[in-house]
């Protein structure tokens, strides 16, 4: 079975392999749901929490699934991945684990006790944040993600676009800080909102053995971190108790453009392996007493605006720019960074440790919506004469620190050069046709991905799709295991010329049904991966590791050869992240009304070929379903 190793050769645990596929569960509620009357929702409000957090305490706790049910789902999920002899061995290990006197039930009792502890809101939360993100030591480039914004034809000048975006971000930030942001809902169920506290005035800090997040007071720190030519500037967004208007912000960005000169690439340090960055941070702090204050200015900033000296045009150029840029004009430990290029194109990069993509997607949707529709006041042209100029955040850079910067830049280039990125902007159809074919758009595209992989490799391998669990207190994500006996049967059937179209279509719909069922179970905390992870966490240091965890099938079935997730936004023309394991692909996709966008990243496994096969598979499935319709309906 395949074992995954990081860039430094250190083996990643199964939990860390899982974590980097845990990117997104990005289906935001219908805007109408945000106005759903709370009297119709069966959750008690806490008016003292403010509107945003009013349901937090009344949300249910994340459940602990019945042990036998998880065992059955686990065996069902590995069956299409194993030979008959491997499956027999795995079945025995599972049966030993769940027998009445087995260790599984003892661990289950401990996990239920943890779940019922009134001091713990979510039995998984702290464990997952640490194992999946904060304790992971490879570069955050592997876990960071990006959004590529549509072009704003009214704001081609970069300072204008930066000012409009910043104005919108500050409006959203105000709602978060004041607790007035309306909660999100899954149909009528309110979702956990406390992850928004980690969006602004926050930074990840490198440390051994685990990083930690730091949150600064928004009442004391009212500045944006602006980066240009590697130099870091402090730009106040509030002066004399009044927020800067769009014209004032534009002036401040223009001043940064005028003042910036190429400086030491301090931001490159944040791209390093976390242990290397931990040591480099200590070198930075001891280089000069004033560096500690300068670093605090960086980490306490409300958010980041990166003014890049690049002009990306193609979707692939944009994806590279927003995912990683040049490795220097960023501060990768900040959770919210807006990137503005010299040609006025724009995007976003998010650090992933303390929140999933639903929060930052909502932020980006809000920003683009108010900018494109001009629903905020961007027209005030008055500029106060006494506004302080942007301030260069000065760091004393010693020879020792400069050596660390140069090493970070070299390591960054090696990491990026090892990857290849392709964008498949499929224009033949999208959500509109898929719904007319009476299919779940998400499950449909998952089958496109499965078929494309089968075309390329002649087999299916473990695939991850993130499923949101924010209906529970402090909920984050669960894994959907996209490969099923039904999906494998469908892929094999598509390569079998002896089967007619109607037989293949039947198998396709069975595969969709199986996928939708797993997603539904995972969304209510009844998946496989987080439960098995939690049980394993309760093993003592001297306890024997049960056979289920030593079985190669456990590691293999959670080695995500395909890491996937979906968001759909008409304001974006791309989003993505890296692969999870070296022999795998990261495939992000957007399903819009008339198009499907795939972002494909791998360590030179043939991302261009995968892009081709995704295009071909999308056409094959469409043609299959249309060919089996009645003639009158086939004209869809």
Q: Is 347 helix (H, G, I), strand (E, B) or coil?
A: strand
Q: 252 Cβ partners below 8 Å, 6+ apart?
A: 226, 235, 244, 387, 389, 390
Q: Which residues pair with 26 in a beta bridge?
A: 567
Rounded to whole angstroms, the Cα distance separating 481 from 483 reads 6
CA dihedral 383, 389, 390, 393 (to 10 degrees): -160
**Which SS3 state, helix, strand or coil, does residue 238 take?**
strand
Which residues on adjacent β-strands are paired with residue 465? 480, 564
**What is the SS3 assignment for 576?**
strand
Nearest CA among 329, 332, 350, 326 for reference residue 413: 326
d(CA 635, CA 59): 46
Distance CA 528, CA 506 (A): 27
Q: Is the peptide bond before 209 cis (omega within 30 degrees of 0)?
A: yes
Ranges assigned E (strand) in 427-518? 463-468, 477-481
Is 542 exposed, middle or buried, given 0-12, 13-18 or 19+ CB atoms closer than 10 A?
exposed
Which of the residues 223, 273, 352, 531 is marked catalytic?
Answer: 352
- Assigned token pair, 385: 């004469």
In whole angstroms, what is the distance from residue 240 CA to residue 220 CA?
Answer: 13
Q: Residue 384 contacts by C-beta under 8 Å, 6 or more apart in sequence? A: 239, 248
- 214 DSSP β-pair partners: 203
**The two structure tokens encoding residue 180:** 């007035």
Residue 352 bears catalytic tag: yes
Query: Tokens in use for 164?
Result: 């409009």
* Three-class DSSP category at 273: coil
Query: What per-residue string of b and e applies to 367-402 under the rule 16 or more CB within 10 Å gives b?
Result: bbbbbbeeebebeeeeeeeebeebebbebebeeebe
Q: Please count the other Cβ atoms lying within 10 Å of the Cβ belonging to residue 570.
A: 14
Query: What element of type H or E holds 297?
Result: helix 290-299
* E strands in 283-384: 304-308, 337-341, 346-350
Residue positions annotated with a catalytic role: 352
């Amino acid at each position: 079975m395949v074992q995954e190793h990081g860039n430094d050769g250190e083996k990643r645990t199964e939990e860390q392999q899982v974590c980097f596929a845990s990117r997104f569960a990005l289906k935001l509620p219908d805007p109408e749901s945000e106005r759903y009357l709370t009297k119709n929702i069966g959750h008690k409000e806490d008016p003292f929490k403010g509107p945003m957090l009013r349901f937090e305490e009344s949300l249910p706790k994340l459940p602990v699934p019945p042990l036998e049910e998880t065992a059955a789902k686990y065996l069902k999920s590995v069956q299409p991945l194993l030979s008959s002899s491997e499956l027999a061995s795995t079945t025995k290990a599972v049966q030993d684990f769940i027998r009445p006197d087995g260790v599984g039930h003892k661990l289950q009792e401990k996990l239920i006790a943890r779940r019922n502890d009134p001091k713990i809101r979510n039995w998984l939360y702290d464990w997952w944040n640490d194992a999946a993100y904060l304790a992971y030591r490879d570069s955050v480039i592997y876990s960071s993600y990006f959004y590529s914004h549509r072009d704003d034809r009214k704001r081609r000048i970069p300072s204008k676009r930066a000012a409009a975006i910043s104005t919108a971000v500050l409006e959203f930030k105000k709602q978060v800080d004041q607790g007035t942001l309306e909660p999100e809902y899954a149909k009528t169920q309110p979702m956990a909102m406390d992850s928004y506290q980690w969006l602004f005035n926050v930074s990840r800090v490198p440390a051994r053995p685990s990083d930690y997040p730091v949150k600064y007071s928004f009442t004391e720190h009212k500045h944006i971190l602006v980066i240009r030519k590697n130099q870091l500037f402090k730009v106040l967004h509030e002066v004399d108790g009044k927020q800067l208007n769009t014209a004032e912000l534009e002036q401040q960005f223009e001043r940064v453009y005028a003042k910036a000169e190429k400086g030491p690439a301090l931001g490159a340090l944040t791209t390093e392996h976390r242990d290397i960055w931990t040591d480099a941070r200590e070198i930075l702090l001891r280089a000069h007493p004033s560096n500690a204050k300068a670093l605090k200015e960086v980490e306490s900033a409300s958010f980041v605006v990166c003014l890049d000296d690049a002009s990306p045009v193609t979707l692939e150029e944009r994806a590279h720019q927003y995912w990683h840029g040049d490795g220097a004009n960023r501060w990768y430990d900040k959770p919210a960074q807006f990137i503005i290029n010299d040609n006025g194109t724009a995007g976003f990069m998010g650090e992933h440790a303390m929140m999933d993509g639903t929060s930052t997607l909502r932020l980006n949707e809000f920003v683009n919506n108010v900018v494109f529709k001009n629903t905020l006041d961007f027209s005030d042209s008055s500029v106060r004469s006494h506004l302080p100029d942007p301030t260069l955040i000065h760091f004393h850079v010693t020879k020792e620190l400069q050596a660390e910067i140069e090493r970070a830049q070299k390591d960054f280039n090696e990491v990026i050069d090892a990857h290849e990125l392709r964008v498949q902007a499929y224009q033949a159809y999208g959500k509109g046709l898929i719904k007319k074919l009476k299919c779940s758009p998400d499950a449909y595209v998952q089958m496109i991905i499965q078929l494309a992989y089968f075309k390329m490799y002649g087999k299916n391998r473990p695939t991850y799709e993130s499923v949101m669990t924010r209906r529970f207190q402090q909920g984050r994500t669960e894994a959907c295991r996209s490969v099923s006996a039904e999906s494998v049967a469908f892929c094999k059937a598509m390569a079998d010329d002896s089967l007619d179209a109607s037989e293949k279509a039947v198998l396709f719909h069975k595969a969709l049904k199986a996928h939708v069922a797993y997603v539904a179970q995972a969304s209510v905390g009844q998946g496989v991966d987080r439960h098995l992870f939690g049980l394993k966490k309760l093993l003592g240091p001297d306890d024997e590791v049960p056979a289920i965890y030593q079985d190669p099938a456990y590691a293999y079935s959670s080695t995500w050869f395909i890491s996937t997730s979906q968001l759909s936004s008409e304001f974006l023309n791309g989003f993505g992240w890296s692969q999870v394991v070296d022999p795998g692909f990261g495939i992000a996709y957007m399903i819009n009304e008339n198009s499907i966008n795939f972002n494909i990243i791998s360590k030179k496994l043939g991302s261009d070929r995968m892009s081709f096969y995704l295009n071909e598979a999308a056409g094959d499935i469409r043609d299959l379903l249309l060919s089996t319709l009645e003639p009158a309906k086939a004209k869809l």
